[in-house]
Amino acid sequence: MLLDIALQKKHLSHFIFPKISETADEMNLPCYVIGGYVRDIFLERDSKDIDIVTVGSGIELATTFAEKLGKSARLSVFKNFGTAQVKYKDIEVEFVGARRESYTHDSRKPIVEDGTLCDDQNRRDFTINALAICLNKEHFGELIDPFNGMEDLKAGIIRTPLDPDITFSDDPLRMMRAIRFATQLEFSIEKETFAAIERNRKRIEIISKERIIDELNKIVTSSKPSTGFILLDKSKLLPLIFPELNALKGIETIDGRGHKDNFYHTLTVLDNVAKKSNNLWLRWAAILHDIAKPVTKRYDKKSGWTFHNHNFIGYKMIPGIFRRMKLPLNDKMKFVQKMVDLHMRPIVLAEEEVTDSAVRRLLFDAGNDIEELMTLCEADITSKNQEKVKKFLDNFTLVRGKLKEIEEKDRIRNMQPPISGEEIMDIFGLTPCREVGDIKSAIKDAILDGIIPNERDAAFRFMLDFAASKGLKPTK
C-alpha cells in the first residue's frame, strides 16, 4: 500500500491512521489524509502535522476521534473556520470538511461552501499539495491524484492545479508559497506558473505583512536561501516586499571603475552563513549587513567607490525595516543591529596587525555574540581571488586564536569595570555627574588598552591617579 512508508515511520502514524479510519467508517464519512503530509511521505521528509479532509463535518469527526484516544488527546475546535485540531503526544492532526471556495477581488479570505473531495483538491495551491490518500477501510491507502502531482513530484516541479492566474489572484500568498516550496524542496517552478506570479505580483499588496514575513522566514531558514531571493527578484515581487534589498542590485561604473553587485554579494554571504548556522537572526544579519550601501555610496577619483559608515547607517535603518516587515522589535532585532554595526571590525583586524587592545575592544563590544560575529565576517569574504580569500581566512584564524588568548587572560567578554559608579561617588563624595562617568570610562579604557589588568587593586590605583589629575581627592 502507498501508506507503507508512513506506517514505518517511528512516530505514531502506525496507530493514528488506523484509528482515524475506524472512526470515519463508524460515522460513515469518506476520509482522506491530504496535502503536505502526503507529499512528504513520497519525499521521505519528516512531518508531524497531518491534515485530514472528510466529506462531512470535520469537527464531528475530530471530536469522536479525540474521544477514542482518551484523556491524553487535546481537542481544539474552531467553529468559525469549520476546523478542529487533535494533539496527541507529538502529533497534530487537523480535521476539516471538504469544501469549495470562491473569492472577491479585494480579499484573500474565501467564501466557503461544503464540497466534495474533488472540490477540495481543486482549491489546493499546487499539484504536489493536492495529493490525497483514502483512509476508509475499503480503499485504505489508495492514492487520489487528479492533477498528476506524483509526476510533478518526480520531476521536481511546482505547478498550480488550475489556471495559475486565478490561483494567484484568488490568494496572492500562494505566490510566496510557490517560491518558498521551490527553495525548500529544491524544485523548479513551471514556466506558466512562474509567469503568472509576475503578472499577478501587485496582488501581494492585499496580503498582511505578518503572512508575508512568515513565508519569507521559511525561505531564509532553508538550506540555500539565495534561491528564494533570486526567484523573488525574477518575479518582480522583491521591490514590493523588500525594497531596501532590491536597492542593492546593479553595478555602477565611472571612469572604468565599478563596484560589485551588492545584491548578489549579500546572497552569497547569506548562503555562506546558512552552511554554518541555523540561527535565523544571524541569517537576517547577513541579509542586512550591507543594506546601507546604496545610501552611502560615493565615487572619488582617487579612492574609487566608497561606502563610508554603511555599517553604522545600516544599524540605524534596521528598526524601520523590522517595524514595516513585522519582524520582532526586541532582543532579536538588537542582535541583528549589533552584528551589522560590528561586522567590519574583525575584517579590519584581519587586514592589519592584530593588537591586544583591538581584540579586547572587540570582545567587550561583541560580548557573548563574538562567535556569531566571526561566522558572519568569515562568510563576508566572497572574493573570486582564491589567494585573497585564503589570506583573509588565515588571518581570521589568527584573530580567533587571539580572541581565545585574550579572553582567557583578561576576562573581557561582558566585562563590568571592577569599580562601580556608586563606589566612585562614595569615595570622592560626588553625586551623579559627568566626572563619575569620566572616571568609569577611563578605568574601562585603561583595561581595554592593556594599561592595567582587569583587577580591582590595579583599577583602584589607576582611579586615584586619574582623579588626582582632574583635581579630585578622596573624601574617605
How many domains does one find in the chain?
3
pLDDT score of 11: 40
CB 328, CB 321: distance < 8 Å? no
Q: Which of 240, 255, 274 is the last residue in one of the domains?
A: 240
pLDDT score of 5: 52
Q: Is residue 15 part of a domain?
A: yes
Tens of pLDDT along 23-55? 999 999 999 999 999 999 899 888 778 999 999
Q: Are residues 130 and 23 in the same domain?
A: yes
CB 137, CB 21: distance < 8 Å? yes
CB 321, CB 365: distance < 8 Å? no
pLDDT score of 104: 63
pLDDT score of 10: 41
Q: Are residues 171 and 186 in the same domain?
A: yes
What residues of the chain score a pLDDT lower than 70?
1-14, 101-113, 350-354, 408-410, 412-415, 476
Q: Which of 171, 267, 149 is nearest to 215 (CA)?
A: 171
Q: Which of 225, 240, 255 is the last residue in one of the domains?
A: 240
Alpha carbons 54 and 95: distance in angstroms, whole number? 8
Q: What are phi and psi of 95, to 5 degrees?
A: -115, 135
What's the distance, CA 206 to chain centroid?
A: 23
Distances (CA, A) of 19 to 62, 73, 202: 11, 13, 45
Alpha carbons 117 and 99: distance in angstroms, whole number? 8
Q: Which amino acid is at 208?
A: S
Q: Are residues 198 and 144 in the same domain?
A: no
What range defines the domain where residue 87 resides?
4-155
CB 86, CB 79: distance < 8 Å? no
CATH of the domain at 227: 1.10.110.30
Q: Which of 209, 240, 271 is the last residue in one of the domains?
A: 240
* Cβ neighbours of 460 (radius 10 Å): 15
CB 458, CB 443: distance < 8 Å? no
CB 338, CB 366: distance < 8 Å? yes
Find the distance separating the first CA and the last CA of the chain, reported in whole Å.
87
Q: Which of 396, 360, 404 is nearest to 377 (CA)?
A: 396
- CB-based burial, 364-382: b 16+ in 10 Å, e otherwise: bbbeebbebbbbbbbbbbe
Tens of pLDDT along 176-203? 999 999 999 999 999 999 999 999 999 9
Q: Are residues 108 and 226 in the same domain?
A: no
Q: Is residue 305 part of a domain?
A: no
CB 37, CB 50: distance < 8 Å? yes
Q: Is residue 304 part of a domain?
A: no
Q: Is residue 209 part of a domain?
A: yes
Alpha carbons 125 and 391: distance in angstroms, whole number? 49
Q: Are residues 30 and 77 in the same domain?
A: yes
User: What is the pTM (predicted TM-score) of this model?
Assistant: 0.85
pLDDT score of 12: 42
pLDDT score of 44: 86
